[in-house]
Structure 1
Amino acid sequence: MKDPNLLYMIAASIVLLLAVLVIVLWLRTSQLARQMRALRQNMDTEKQSSSQTQILRAEVSELRTALANMSNRIGQIQQRTEEVAQQQDTIREADPQARIYSRAVKMIELGAPMEEVMSECELPRAEAELLFSLHQKN
């Protein structure tokens, strides 16, 4: 006949082995669950980053378009400014009185004294004073 202690020890060993196996499985399951949560969180973060990247790319594209439009507009304004300046020069050169004032302004900008401007450009004192107040560098 078999020894009951031996059977008891075998049964206890099997129970102990099963308990260890259950604990190991439980620990491994917990570890896998944590890894799954971390993976899901990483996937969510990646989706958010991808969405933000798409939004930022769209904004950059809009800014590029706006910048190109502004650049074109600035070019048009510069061209128009040059045209207006040329027209003003043409008008100034065509009008003898305007030439006198242009010459007086140039003299003032170069630092000529009021008496010299008045005599060279044949301007009355009041007009010379007005031109000096408008164009003289401080």
Structure 2
Amino acid sequence: MLLLSLVCGALILILVCFIVLYVMNRKISQIEFLHQKKLSDVLQQTNILRSEVAEMRTGMLSIGKRLVTVEQRNQELAQQQDAQKYDDPDAKIYSRAVKMVELGADIEEIIRECELPRAEAELLMSLHQQKGAS
């Protein structure tokens, strides 16, 4: 009888162990499933971010190329403007008059040296004073 109760007790203990193992296995499986889901979500987000970074990189390269083009065009226009300034004889006179104004020459000296009408010399002086006040 004692042997039978020991065997029954051992069977019950084995059954309890199997139940505990089954419950723990299910919990581990659920946790593993959740981790797999999170990992899948993170990988998907990583792929999205990589594609967004690639798009931004492409956009930045495009903007950089356009900026270089604009800077080159700006430099060309500045050179053309400088060339025109020296090609036009009237522009030379006005450039000289502006330099004299910047150096502090009075209106009579500008009229005499640059052969400008008084109204134009006064306008240059006025513009220079406004520019200096800004």
Q: TM-score, length-normalised on structure 1?
A: 0.78
- Determine whether 1:131 maps to 2:128: yes
Equivalent of residue 12 in structure 2, options 12, 19, 25: 19
The residue number in structure 1 matching 2:103 is 112
> What is the CA distance between 1:137 and its match in structure 2?
6.7
- Equivalences for 1:8-87 in 2 at 5 Å? 9-87=2-80
For the 8 Å contact 1:118–1:128, the answer to whether it is kept is no
Which ranges in structure 2 are unaligned for 5 or more consecutive residues?
A: none
Distance of 1:97 and 1:29 partners within structure 2:
100
For the 8 Å contact 2:107–2:122, the answer to whether it is kept is no
Distance of 1:117 and 1:83 partners within structure 2:
37
For the 8 Å contact 1:114–1:128, the answer to whether it is kept is no
> What is the CA distance between 1:73 and its match in structure 2?
0.4
> What is the CA distance between 1:91 and its match in structure 2?
0.9
Q: TM-score, length-normalised on structure 2?
A: 0.81
Deviation string 1:14-38 (CA, Å, 9 cap, x unpaired) is: 2211111111111111111111111
Distance of 1:19 and 1:101 partners within structure 2:
112
Distance of 2:25 and 2:88 partners within structure 1:
92
Greater Cα radius of gyration, structure 1 or 2: 1
SS at 2:106's partner residue?
helix
For the 8 Å contact 1:100–1:121, the answer to whether it is kept is yes
Relative distance call for 1:19 and 1:107 in structure 2 (3 A) is farther
